[in-house]
Structure 1
């Protein structure tokens, strides 16, 4: 599977002891037909599927079972809060990517937008926040009624 990786490196100030920087990455399959498969969240190793159709890699705090993220961790809550902005940064990458022409990048990107009822547990607020930020974009086309209108 060919993936595009978008990453953001954060300089951390007193968020976590002995950590100066951390990286949060999203990876999107570029060659998909139809709706992409749901992907796991990673904390270096795969944890579990939370319903996202793109991969998330972060330095999440995990319990000893390594099957989930620690929901009570302030660190994890901060990382989660950074996901919507990073996801929206991917939009410009899709629009400029050499694999796509015209609106193909936008159409492909929209396949990855998480719906609130698809995202599970700890990450559920991310879907709502992404939808709110997408709605705030003044040029995002949307079909309402018989014609094409802008939101």
Structure 2
């Protein structure tokens, strides 16, 4: 099969990479992939932690949610607290804003949040905490 007419028509076969070069390319690709995944993971990491501590139903029109929020004071944080009835409908809602400070530090805040409700609530607690822009 080494006919000169075939070699002229189809050119010479391509050479493969040697084993050492191939292994270095695979290791480099893996290192870039791991570094990229680490960057994305750390970039999306949130320093905000919010927990329900408890709640009290004081009347047909009021509930008190006890919450704990842990966050970094360099960010402006908004937390949404809600009260729900026995069919899981939201009957009371309040948004809390924690302003940013000049000296960033990690703080933990325990709060009792009174909520006015439209009718009798059966549970109250924190729905979500997130970072909001300073201009908002």
Q: Which has the higher helix share?
A: 1
Looking at both structures, which has the greater relative contact order when contacts are Cα pairs under 8 Å and sequence separation is at least 6? Answer: 2
Q: Tell me the TM-score normalised to structure 1 length.
A: 0.23
Structure possessing the higher radius of gyration over alpha carbons:
2
Q: Tell me the TM-score normalised to structure 2 length.
A: 0.24
Q: Which has the higher strand share?
A: 2
